[in-house]
Structure 1
């Protein structure tokens, strides 16, 4: 007699082991899991992982739920898993709670201890199979029928039906037309075209179709129903489910148009974001109230996806490059990418423009050289004499650029005028005698003409939208 203890992770139930002792050898087949579980004496010494969960069901009428009571659940080192299955060949779906209205006679439960491998054995029970009368109503209430109109290859109309049921049903389906009179419970069958549901193998979705149905009856969706017969008759209204294929095509086309419009808006927004550059220039008499309005306008334009440069936000760069070079660096993208320069107009700005124009006429050719970008320090300093703010220097440089635009016949192509109504009792207009240098530039009074300004910035240089004559 030889006693042998095998300890190896490579061994499992039903494995074949050959034992060699000197010249003798013997082959031993280890018992299967079912054989081990069948031996009561050995089962008491095996770990709980070899057992299957035993459970029973309870109906909680107050909560309208089905509860499962599992034996030894607290003693098991493994987590309990459960899935719900309809019929023997149905898919087992994980479901934590089971409402009472979904319980059917063919409902089954599978429970097992989750050990993280394939060794877990499952216990399966169908506790409601004997309560057919009690839960038969739930079966029919969980049946759904849908019908879609289609077209045959010959061009005729047809109806395709799809029935979903949790259990096998012995029934027939047929199309019928409900009476429009007093007796609305009657439904006249459309021809002898009943179809029987297959009861041999359960399928969650059963399909079929009817042909040779008059098209004028198909279109009368308010009266077209589907009859489902099982001992008694059940009717399912299809007025909300019956779709004409032409309507489906129209809906599909509408969705495509909406998607195309959204795509165009997306690319248009991207184009404005890439090409819509705005240069916002302060007046020479900038103070706290004016600077606050200028910064708010710049932030608002930036929030709409525009690229915005504000002289008040670029003081370090402005002092490093100088007023005229900084302004030219900001205006250069406007010529290649599109965009506008906004010049904030105040009373001091108008007065400065008038004085600048008179001084321009007195300077002659030297002034024209300055306007074309030739930085002759002596003349340029005399032109800006009496101004201490770098923003005033930028304003004067902008006047030079506007003068050049006038000479080239493109006034209003790059520059727009904006006026804050909070600094004037009345909005500015061409009738109030603006300086000659500003004639031909579009003028916008904010906030009343805010929308017009946004439109003008969106269309770029396609002509003024609120210009002033001259």
Structure 2
């Protein structure tokens, strides 16, 4: 607590020591300097106020300076000058005990007497910090000179004191109390001494304009990870936090300023680098908006206008009647520079005004002329309620028509499938997706294998039940490739189920070789070797699919169950395929992926013939694979 109670703060209003510009002095630690007549001066920290009746404090002065630690660094110092009055009979006293023994009187007169004085300081939010100065009074110097002596105290880096702090300084021996205010960091950094103050070091801004229509900010100085930046429009505008080092070129205006600093205790540097850019002025005009409405006051209804822009503007606003052109109503012009501009929540500057004695039933308009622009802006018109309702009705009808057209367009494919379903014997579930067996070519490489897997994942996402030979290696090892394929084909019992065979250059060569072999020779090899003697699962499954395709073509049902896809260069025509594969639907991926999905969803109805319906596959023993067809 302060001595003499909190009432002392009111007393400070008349004793306040104003802040002044800081000077610099060369001190790097606490020091005390005593005037002539006082010797052996020492200063130490003191917790409590200690009174010494032999020494009175006549005057107390406190102020701040910058103490230099080095040529490039300095800190705050509290300077306290204490003027003392020492009693003339101090030589007859001994620290509060009067009287002297008769023996040794002359010796004590020659020796100096010890004394002390305590001075405390504190801010409003901290406890007092006290310094006790102990010294000896030289009797000879005291009698020869004036009895008033002075002590100068230097306190480097005073406790809990910073720039802009209010500090109360008082002594233990009098009612003298002084308040001193430390200059603000902005005041200090505006002086020539700012070079040695750490808090005055600010980042320096550089910027460059890129062809990609953005401005890159570059700050020179300390670690940019400690850097804080905010953007404000106009020097007295609200600063909004900015956490990127780029600014879109369309947002740059002549009144845009940037503040940058390293920490809260550091001064903030203000940069307004875009003042002279022609583009920045055009950006202000392009982001200018005007709205017109009605204002209700005690005097009646008036025409109100609201203009907002990134920067404050100069110019004129006036009302007009809209006929062939907007004819000005004389005597109503208002200047944008008059009145108050306010910044809204979006950071834009707004100017609001009203025009009195305007008939709103005539739907008046507002024109704007901005200084520097080559043309006027407007008209911005006020629409009464009846016209607004009519406009809303027209807009509503147009929206309804557009919505109907969009729905018809989106459901066009659904309607076509519904009509097809009706013509083919009744309603079916549109969009039903069946089973797909995806077979790899023989001896595939990594790229083809990855493409096959991606196609399998795509079909799964589209809702198909997909079986890929590459995903079933464990089952093929257990059952054997041919039984595994047989088990998969048993699931193909609906018109939506298809077998997709992937073709590569190697697959086409294998098909040609297979087609040139005699049917009986192939049958003999299959019966003699058996499943276990054939090494490549790709070759087994692919060769088996060729047998099934040939059987399908012999029954006149080519293309009902099998589809061909190709990932590499497209074929010029169907004739480039081996004869066995000609007539089967071929899709070049990825360009024809939508067509492939459509074919799988529709179930290949375009290739169906007569009333044949697929019912499944049957193992024919020595006759190999046979397709069973129901007529």
| Superposition TM-score, scaled by structure 2 size | 0.37
Larger Rg: 2
TM norm structure 1: 0.46
